[in-house]
Structure 1
Amino acid sequence: MFLILLCSSLNVHAQALESSPKLESSRKIVKWGRLELSLPRQISPGQAFSLRFSGRGASRVRVRFPLEGFETLGSTLESPESVKKSFVLGRARLEDQKNIPLELISQYEILKLSLPLEVEKKEVQQLEFKKTEFLSINKNRSAEDFKLGKIYGLSGSRAWTEPFAAPVRGRITSPYGTPRQYTPGTPISYHSGIDYGSPSGTPIYAVNAGQVAFVGHYAVRGNITVLNHGLGLYTAYLHQSKILVKVGQKVARGQKIGEIGSTGLSTAPHLHLEFRLRGVAVSPLEWLGRVMP
């Protein structure tokens, strides 16, 4: 679905980051010449994270993620030389089982690091679909993934400044990252978002500022809206009964963009919310209530 570009390079976007003491306790500091790097002590599959740089020349640091396979459209981000704080967003896939390597590039120097990956064994959820149903679902999902992959390859400048908010006033009925098997003997897939169970017609709100990148109907995802928040970050809202926005429209944090439904592959009214960073589904809970993961 995505063009594999090993060692593709990302320029760091200069921006001060908000953080909490709890979050900072899970990070460590690495000194590199005149620069100081703050990074997570460890990460989990499906987790998004930030690498933070401070010091002279921070805005000129570049980061390579050798294991990533994605198109680098829109990944070159220039910053004023006067800014001495910068960051880059990274992510681990749900399928990842090994530590995540990365390379920092500053002028003629390269610093190679590895982020420890903590893998938690989870029980596989058996969905008990018929083999013919699975084949149909898999075919439709693959076609949808291909089309949406082209959208997720685009990016732009950062559109948000506030913490991400919940999209609905409801409870989470299905967590992110649950391994699933549609029928015995078929490949294991993962729940790529979180589900909010609420009655049909319940308002859906934009989790943060952004621009509508896609609206449409798919066999599996149902009525779907995709918002582009910039820096390769997207949110997707699935199974809606009504879509209230149009492609190209700018939306504000908390703006009503649709209503909950049960369209597509769905057994009851709910919202499936996804966060996608450079095309990869990452845990929404790493973002909700925060400006950055």
Structure 2
Amino acid sequence: MKARFLLLAALLSASASAYTVKKGDTLYSLARASGVSVDELLRLNGLSSPELRVGQIIRLPGETAPSAPKPAAPPAPAVKLPTVATSAHVLNLPGVTITAPKSLRMGDGFVLRLSGERAGETTVRFPSEVGEDVRQPNEQLRPLGAAGEYVVPGRVVLGKETPVVYEVRLGDSVVKGQIPVRSLGQPTQHLNLPPSVSKVLQDPERAAEDAAVEQAYNRRTPQAWTKPFAAPLANVKRVSSGFGQPRTYVKGGKVAYHYGTDYPAPVGTPILAVNDGTVVMAGKYPVRGGLVVIDHGAGVVSLYFHQSKVVVTAGQQVTRGQKVGEVGTTGLSAGPHLHLEIRVRGEATVPAGWMGRLWP
């Protein structure tokens, strides 16, 4: 078998021509157009993973390149490719190539990428979630995508420092991989909120608020977005409280994580939907204050806290950049700001990892 691979690589190399990668190209689409497999293109180009970047020169099977090549075109401008990981490791099943991040941090959202003729037939689980404080641990997931290019979204729960273990199954064939996880290394923040603010934590309506949000986390609807995620506030870049900060709200209180990112802004600043979806909650609540929750499908939900005014209603379809409310300081808040959360199957992920990308 090894001799056959070496012979095939030699034949391909002898009749290969240079190709400049364009936006939207994947190794799978180029392999399919060339009539070869992804593995054969990996060997032909000496690649360890199927990642491609715009402007990259690779060799494709075809006519031998002319001895006097045309002048090289100007280098392509740098383009961010939101759907291609910058570092990854690769596993394989028959007809399927699985690409995973090399490492993760607590609170990261991420995707496993599956390419190949049978990628859409696979199922994926994350068995490392068993025993963790997560919703629906080890849930069986079907890949999202088409035409041999699929993703499965994952998340690293805050507080987790053990590797993420994933399992991809195709019929009777199973492959397992693991991704190391690093701590955020943030010190505990003690807010010591005054009783006039912290009293909402004991509000008798808080249980109903939490139960309604949990229902939103349990939704499993089709993916609603086709464009990268966008910022929730126009021209507001400053962050007052970062994602994942361990904190106490009252003196001697229990340590909890900050599950979103806080953007300070004047009261009345328009709040914008980060992407297309359906509003599943919209109203005033004791802890989250003026709240909008948008289901984007694929288990992805965004939440917008502390609004002074909510301008959408539950059941309404919204588009990326549409106004959903205005910044305020309602609920558990000590000053005007937007608290934004983006959750994957109920677990918080760092919002910055989504901005300008289709997937983190």
Residue 54 (str. 1) matches residue 81 (str. 2):
no
1:103 match: secondary structure:
strand
The answer to whether the 8 Å contact 1:18/1:292 transfers is no
How many pairs does the alignment contain? 276
Distance 1:206 1:212 in 2: 10
Distance 2:148 2:119 in 1: 6
The answer to whether the 8 Å contact 1:134/1:183 transfers is yes
Residue 28 of structure 1 and its aligned partner are, at CA, apart by 2.1
Residue 39 (str. 1) matches residue 100 (str. 2):
yes
Unaligned runs of 5+ in 1: 1-15
Residue 151 (str. 1) matches residue 216 (str. 2):
yes
Residue 83 of structure 1 and its aligned partner are, at CA, apart by 2.2
Distance 1:127 1:79 in 2: 41
- Equivalent position of 2:304 in the other structure: 237
Residue 213 of structure 1 and its aligned partner are, at CA, apart by 0.8
The answer to whether the 8 Å contact 2:193/2:249 transfers is yes
Residue 75 of structure 1 and its aligned partner are, at CA, apart by 7.2
The answer to whether the 8 Å contact 2:143/2:151 transfers is no
- Equivalent position of 1:11 in the other structure: none
Unaligned runs of 5+ in 2: 1-28, 30-50, 54-79
| Equivalent runs, 1:189-208 vs 2, <5 Å | 189-208=256-275
Q: 1:120 aligns with which of 184, 191, 196?
A: 184
Residue 55 of structure 1 and its aligned partner are, at CA, apart by 0.9
Distance 2:332 2:81 in 1: 41
Which letter does structure 1 place at the counterpart of 2:231? A
Residue 24 of structure 1 and its aligned partner are, at CA, apart by 3.0
Distance 2:148 2:243 in 1: 35
Distance 1:166 1:223 in 2: 19
Task: Indicate how the Cα distance of structure 1 residues 70 and 269 shifts in structure 2: closer, same or farther if over 3 A, else same.
Answer: same
If each structure's strand is expressed as a fraction of its own residues, which one has the higher value? Answer: 1
Residue 131 of structure 1 and its aligned partner are, at CA, apart by 9.0
Residue 92 (str. 1) matches residue 92 (str. 2):
no
Q: Which has the higher contact order (CA 8 A, sep 6+)?
A: 1
Q: 2:286 aligns with which of 196, 202, 219?
A: 219
Distance 1:18 1:152 in 2: 34
If each structure's helix is expressed as a fraction of its own residues, which one has the higher value? Answer: 2
Q: 1:164 aligns with which of 229, 239, 262?
A: 229
Instruction: State the Cα deviation string for residues 20-62 of structure 1 (Å, max 9, x = none).
Output: 4696332222233331111100111111100001112100111
Which letter does structure 2 place at the counterpart of 1:231? A
- Equivalent position of 2:243 in the other structure: 176
Distance 1:276 1:29 in 2: 26
Task: Indicate how the Cα distance of structure 1 residues 28 and 49 shifts in structure 2: closer, same or farther if over 3 A, else same.
Answer: same
Task: Indicate how the Cα distance of structure 1 residues 92 and 79 shifts in structure 2: closer, same or farther if over 3 A, else same.
Answer: closer
- Equivalent position of 2:174 in the other structure: 110
Distance 2:196 2:81 in 1: 51
The answer to whether the 8 Å contact 1:176/1:191 transfers is yes
- Equivalent position of 1:274 in the other structure: 341
Residue 29 (str. 1) matches residue 90 (str. 2):
yes
The answer to whether the 8 Å contact 2:144/2:152 transfers is no
The answer to whether the 8 Å contact 2:88/2:102 transfers is yes
Instruction: State the Cα deviation string for residues 220-266 of structure 1 (Å, max 9, x = none).
Output: 11010000100000000111111111111111111111111111111
Which letter does structure 1 place at the counterpart of 2:223? R
- Equivalent position of 1:70 in the other structure: 135
TM-score (norm 2): 0.70
Which letter does structure 2 place at the counterpart of 1:57? R
The answer to whether the 8 Å contact 1:75/1:155 transfers is no
Larger-Rg structure: 2
- Equivalent position of 1:257 in the other structure: 324
2:182 match: secondary structure:
coil
Which letter does structure 2 place at the counterpart of 1:24? A
Residue 177 of structure 1 and its aligned partner are, at CA, apart by 0.8
Residue 102 of structure 1 and its aligned partner are, at CA, apart by 1.5
Instruction: State the Cα deviation string for residues 148-203 of structure 1 (Å, max 9, x = none).
Output: 11121012111111111101121222111111022454321111111111111111
- Equivalent position of 2:16 in the other structure: none
RMSD after superposition: 2.8
The answer to whether the 8 Å contact 1:65/1:102 transfers is yes
